Structure 1
């Protein structure tokens, strides 16, 4: 854990403060898989992430003095991704159970420097919270689907459930009743959109997740997330392919790149959601076709993208990891899994018991699938992508599509705005790429400052 002084351009590591505080604090740090979420309010900075097992660890610091205030384990939660300040309160989204797969909560921080780990539940959600933001006096949350067991549950092949399926949820008004959200608001949240309104295949729809969202120009923007190979694996588990040809068809037809949306007037008769980047039709599987042998066919999404194709035109753009507004523009950071595709193809083929020949099909699948519906495709370029909407009326432009100078940065996991300046937290697990004398960029996490774009 670190602090970064934006005026002095100085990075200071704080990890030793935790290690030296107590054996219990040191053990919590040692068993934390990673720091995934950070927030600060009223002089307290909270950093947290999933712990080994099925819980979450939080660490608190005094932002005035830099002192470590302590740590706490939360055994009821299995995941935490983001904090946000709304009105005069700090909120966090969490997942309940192992890896957050059982359901979700939104927590309001009620703590202080003397009691930094006090929270109250202000939302009960059927799926874990992914990201959250303020839009027109309410809190909005995107969710991830339930556990793998639920996704492949006893009704596999039927319409995707609208409870735990990835969705956008809207809170009661922050100004209603007591200021901010409170325990009495926990069951008053409304689902205002879910992925089944776009995705025609019910099994693939269960594999969708939602990620970054932001309020911009009077609209709420959000995007989808697609764990590589998850939809393929789920579909083959639900409908086992009879041979390699059927497996190849499933591989090609279950690929999805991110789709980007915006909406307004949520929860009213005037609600409108627009598809900004996506497809007019997608393949869906009919298990009753061909006398029960099953078949794939393109089905309409009943939407026409306003600006362009899925993935901003890059078939390997699979995560809408974060959105943030800075300098009058809306920035969108993605994950691009093209660098991982070959190895993930081999691993997935082995896990599913597929022939080695299909491993290459898995690696090429996003490009092949996109090629079925486009006359020209760009060359695959390694590295996460950053896009910017210059205004609500214009399409996004490409800021960078090469991992901000290091193609081993396969994604932009988080972004924080400081006026017009952006700080980008890059995802880069290629930490064994550590030889400064070779011609390969270095692996390992990077923090990048972007200004003046």
Structure 2
């Protein structure tokens, strides 16, 4: 390999190697245990910024409240796993951090509740590719599957799962409590806590569970707590829901949840009818043809972002598309009922933008929120495998690395942002804010790709997809409004290539040579160039977004903010972070989840958002994922 004077591959060589990508890393489920980092004393909240002048650089001061701890010691796959003593492992063992995501969040009074998830790449490997071959990526990531800790209890597919944590943080003191109901047998069969909601002093956390003799995706675990005290109220396993991501309290004063129904496609919206004595009481108020993912309010209505379904054994191909944005009828003071289910209707569909007839059905909707009287909606190339695997399911997978990489690059659909004005009315207008004027379209007759105008006939108002053209931003992960500013976090998979190299290569049928290049050349180069999750901020609807961070708030092993949780009255918001580097217990760019407290007030110089051309091509070719 020809090296430059810096010892790195020359630019021409890097271009060749970086284009030697794959598609789909991973992000899925499981948790961790261990002591929390000592809380820090918060600064005084910054002044409310609703009327503050727009600033073109970052404005957030970042302080860590907690982080995932070293909870195991690793030497070899299937080998002994001694517990660390004071975070230190015996000689010959590596420290391991199983906790990967802060996956869900809800507020109850002065407390924040968070749910976690562990060992993301391992779950993705089994979920999408079906591959359960144990593997080790040195100093990055290990997946043991049938030789893992939980293989005996949950089966070899979920041998790397760990019991998820329930954490409660006092927003005034930053004291962290671990409320995980360790004696509850259902928590031990729950792969991660993906959703959370709170209302009337009751907090719910929920996630996919593994029942005896079942695969994941067959039922949903739900856990209830008294919000003011943290008292555990009990748990329930549901078989009429298999996944849910969160809830929202609507203007009628009711809590609503949305989740995927069992079977091939579709989902449900539910209204909570319970109380503290009987928390597990819900009424179905809508049955939708898409899996309703994120749920928000717009004026007196509910809005849900629709997903297609990725069935086991199909490597992430999507069925049930196209994904649509769904809006409820006006909510009466008595609350929505199933009588109004038929009045739910789609207000926008991905295939109204994407000119490729197959890929128009292979992309989902991500985060969405109302801001200043308009609806902002982001997209999600489901785990980054959704689009290309949907294409291959329709037309067949080509042979060889070159054509497979070509398809992965062309099928790439990074995070795209739309603004919908007057949604659900005759005056509705949809504006492409970040996206592509032309998109690659595959011709199954010629087996070639060509650029075609998007079906809205619009140029993006502010910039390319990925916000600055970073195609590793595959997912509009979480949006929040805080102090009248819109904060948008993406899943940035550019720092996930190395730990995800095995899954990427296996799931897309790429050679061992490509796997090695991903692991040792593409991954390190991309992590150094683009690694770390992105957060973009809008101060003014008429102006482009500002980069708040492009490197995970200084940690390039963190591939994004998975959940925001605002405390508007206290002048800060929490950011629950995600990482997949379970063998990186280092001082710098440490793996494992982080929980950060973000306080506006610090104004810094604008970040350089320009991307080197080879980095853009690398991200497109390496294909990245998020959940």
Which TM-score bucket, shorter chain as reference?
A: 0.7 to 0.9
Q: 1:299 aligns with which of 433, 436, 452?
A: 452
Are the equivalent residues in 2 in contact too, given 1:248–1:358 (CA < 8 A)? no
Question: Which residue does the alignment assign to 1:128?
Answer: 291
Q: Which runs of 5+ in 2 are unaligned?
A: 1-165, 211-215, 602-627
Q: 2:189 aligns with which of 31, 39, 47?
A: 31
Instruction: State how far apart, in whole Å, the 2-side matches of 1:383 and 1:164 are.
Output: 31
Cα–Cα, structure 1 residues 231 and 359, in superposed 2: closer, same or farther, change >3 Å?
Answer: farther
Shift of 1:245: 4.4
Shift of 1:278: 0.4
Map 1:127-166 onto structure 2 (within 5 A).
Answer: 127-148=290-311, 164-166=321-323
Map 1:39-54 onto structure 2 (within 5 A).
Answer: 39-52=197-210, 53=216, 54=218
Cα–Cα, structure 1 residues 148 and 229, in superposed 2: closer, same or farther, change >3 Å?
Answer: same
Map 1:32-181 onto structure 2 (within 5 A).
Answer: 32-52=190-210, 53=216, 54-87=218-251, 88-97=253-262, 102-148=265-311, 164-175=321-332, 179-181=334-336
Establish whether residue 427 from structure 1 lines up as the match of residue 586 from structure 2: no
Q: 1:283 aligns with which of 415, 418, 440?
A: 440
Establish whether residue 323 from structure 1 lines up as the match of residue 479 from structure 2: yes
Shift of 1:150: 12
Shift of 1:392: 1.5
Cα–Cα, structure 1 residues 203 and 430, in superposed 2: closer, same or farther, change >3 Å?
Answer: same
Are the equivalent residues in 1 in contact too, given 2:308–2:322 (CA < 8 A)? yes
What do you get for the CA RMSD once the two structures are aligned? 2.7
Question: Which residue does the alignment assign to 1:252?
Answer: 409
Tell which has more relative contact order, 1 or 2 (C-alpha 8 A, sep 6+): 2
Establish whether residue 399 from structure 1 lines up as the match of residue 564 from structure 2: no
Instruction: State how far apart, in whole Å, the 1-side matches of 2:519 and 2:425 are.
Output: 43
Instruction: State how far apart, in whole Å, the 2-side matches of 1:137 and 1:112 are.
Output: 24
Instruction: State how far apart, in whole Å, the 2-side matches of 1:55 and 1:73 are.
Output: 7
Report Cα offsets for 1:155-212 as digits up to 9, x if no partner: x9xxx99x6422100000013xx52212212222000001001111122222211111
Establish whether residue 215 from structure 1 lines up as the match of residue 370 from structure 2: yes
Report Cα offsets for 1:234-271 as digits up to 9, x if no partner: 32333232555433431221112110011022232211
Name the SS for the 2:187 alignment partner.
Answer: helix
Name the SS for the 2:530 alignment partner.
Answer: coil
Size of the alignment, in residue pairs?
419
Instruction: State how far apart, in whole Å, the 2-side matches of 1:442 and 1:326 are.
Output: 28
Shift of 1:344: 4.0
Report Cα offsets for 1:91-134 as digits up to 9, x if no partner: 11111127xx5311111111101100100111111121111111
Cα–Cα, structure 1 residues 247 and 429, in superposed 2: closer, same or farther, change >3 Å?
Answer: closer
Instruction: State how far apart, in whole Å, the 1-side matches of 2:509 and 2:458 are.
Output: 37
Are the equivalent residues in 1 in contact too, given 2:315–2:385 (CA < 8 A)? no
Instruction: State how far apart, in whole Å, the 1-side matches of 2:387 and 2:553 are.
Output: 29
Report Cα offsets for 1:352-403 as digits up to 9, x if no partner: 4334455589899x99xxxxxxxxx998411111111002122110111111
Establish whether residue 235 from structure 1 lines up as the match of residue 384 from structure 2: no
Question: Which residue does the alignment assign to 1:335?
Answer: 491
Are the equivalent residues in 2 in contact too, given 1:207–1:230 (CA < 8 A)? yes
Instruction: State how far apart, in whole Å, the 2-side matches of 1:380 and 1:44 are.
Output: 44
Are the equivalent residues in 1 in contact too, given 2:574–2:595 (CA < 8 A)? yes
Q: Which moved more, 1:144-153 or 1:224-233?
A: 144-153
Cα–Cα, structure 1 residues 70 and 403, in superposed 2: closer, same or farther, change >3 Å?
Answer: same
Cα–Cα, structure 1 residues 150 and 192, in superposed 2: closer, same or farther, change >3 Å?
Answer: farther
Cα–Cα, structure 1 residues 363 and 106, in superposed 2: closer, same or farther, change >3 Å?
Answer: farther
Question: Which residue does the alignment assign to 1:347?
Answer: 503
Establish whether residue 190 from structure 1 lines up as the match of residue 345 from structure 2: yes
Establish whether residue 445 from structure 1 lines up as the match of residue 609 from structure 2: no
Are the equivalent residues in 1 in contact too, given 2:305–2:326 (CA < 8 A)? yes
Q: Which runs of 5+ in 1 are unaligned?
A: 21-25, 368-376
Are the equivalent residues in 2 in contact too, given 1:222–1:261 (CA < 8 A)? yes
Instruction: State how far apart, in whole Å, the 2-side matches of 1:378 and 1:51 are.
Output: 33
Shift of 1:343: 5.2
Cα–Cα, structure 1 residues 429 and 362, in superposed 2: closer, same or farther, change >3 Å?
Answer: closer
Cα–Cα, structure 1 residues 4 and 243, in superposed 2: closer, same or farther, change >3 Å?
Answer: closer
Cα–Cα, structure 1 residues 150 and 304, in superposed 2: closer, same or farther, change >3 Å?
Answer: farther
